Amino acid sequence: MFSTIFRALLVAVCVSQTGLVFGQYIIAHRGASHDAPENTLAAFRLAWERGADGVEGDFYLTSDGHIVCIHDRETKRVATENYIVAETTFEKLRTLDVGSWKDPKWKGEKIPSIEEVLALVPKGKKIFIELKIGPEIVEPLEKALKASNLSPEQIVIISFDAAAIEACEKRMPHLRSHWLAGYKEQEDGSWKPTASEVTQTVNRIGADGLGSHANLEFFDKDFLKKYRATGVDEFHVWTVNKPTVAKHYQQLGAWSITTDRPGWLRKQLAKPLATK
């Protein structure tokens, strides 16, 4: 409790004296994916070299029960051959080159297993594990995490699938979890989901916070006021590659900011805000 109060006071001082909020975690989106092929060991290694506080990766189950790191349900965007991940064995997926599409220098990069990704996380750094499917991935995920050398403080589980997050909270309540929300503008000009709907979902499934699309049109100060009204406070934003957007959410108290360019964005955030 004391540490929470102290952190809040420190944030307030930083805001009032400098116009900036320091302390947000900078999370590398699919690794340092601006410069390296997304969701590969090369991208994660580069993220650590660039000083990221954490990495974010996307995870599916293969047909034979392995957890692999890839964003799409099929491989056609990042490989020359197309396979549906859930219908393909781990061994078959490992034959694919998922680096050359980015640049020939990345030729030979493979789809990594979750065990390989976890093994690269340095002490004191974080990994955001995005579950791309439902609760069926939770049990094998729990086994992989138990077998790793990571501490609970290093792990954040995120997903758009509310049932998957709820299952994680039941099986692994000691780990931090965030439910992810993107927003769509309706024909009448309103946006969905609303702040109330987001808060209800986060509370219902027992998530520790919200992972939000950085939508300046909707996810703003008023939204966060409603979101925090029921006692839920923690949120992070994705995917932020513009310094002005990052600073906006930094000032609003984002717990973390996910970006394709972790090293570059950190340098931008260290610069003072322009004065009128």
pLDDT digits (tens, 9 = 90+) for 155-189: 999 999 999 999 999 999 999 999 999 999 999 99
pLDDT band at 8 (very low <50, low <70, confident <90, very high): very low
> What pLDDT sits at residue 18?
31
Catalytic residue among 29, 34, 178, 236: 29
What separation in angstroms does the CA of 258 have from each of 50, 82, 180?
A: 14, 28, 13
User: Is residue 14 domain-resident?
Assistant: no
Tokens coding 239:
């995917």
- Mean local confidence (pLDDT), 253-274: 92
Alpha-carbon distance of 58 to 47, in angstroms, equals: 15
pLDDT band at 23 (very low <50, low <70, confident <90, very high): low
Alpha-carbon distance of 43 to 28, in angstroms, equals: 9
User: Is residue 101 domain-resident?
Assistant: yes
Give tens-digit pLDDT for 68-112.
999 999 999 999 999 999 999 999 999 999 999 999 999 999 999
Output the domain CATH number for residue 234.
3.20.20.190
User: Cis peptide before 173, with omega less than 30 degrees from 0?
Assistant: no
- The domain total for the chain is 1
Does residue 269 contact residue 20 with C-beta atoms inside 8 Å? yes
User: DSSP string of 253-267?
Assistant: T-SEEEES-HHHHHH
- Mean local confidence (pLDDT), 235-260: 97
User: Is residue 11 domain-resident?
Assistant: no
pTM above 0.85, yes or no: yes
User: Is residue 31 domain-resident?
Assistant: yes
Beta bridge partners of 89: none
Residue 236 among the catalytic residues:
no
Q: Which residues contact 235 (CB under 8 A, 6 or more apart)?
A: 178, 209, 210, 211, 212, 224, 227, 253, 254, 255
pLDDT band at 1 (very low <50, low <70, confident <90, very high): very low
Alpha-carbon distance of 276 to 266, in angstroms, equals: 23
The residue that leads in pLDDT, 20 or 266, is 266
Residue 71 among the catalytic residues:
yes
User: Is residue 15 domain-resident?
Assistant: no
> What pLDDT sits at residue 230?
87
pLDDT band at 14 (very low <50, low <70, confident <90, very high): very low
Catalytic residue among 34, 71, 174, 213: 71
User: Is residue 4 domain-resident?
Assistant: no
151: containing domain: 21-270
Alpha-carbon distance of 32 to 131, in angstroms, equals: 19
Does residue 148 contact residue 172 with C-beta atoms inside 8 Å? no
User: DSSP string of 142-201?
Assistant: HHHHHHSS--GGGEEEEES-HHHHHHHHHH-TTSEEEEEE--EE-TTS-EES-HHHHHHH
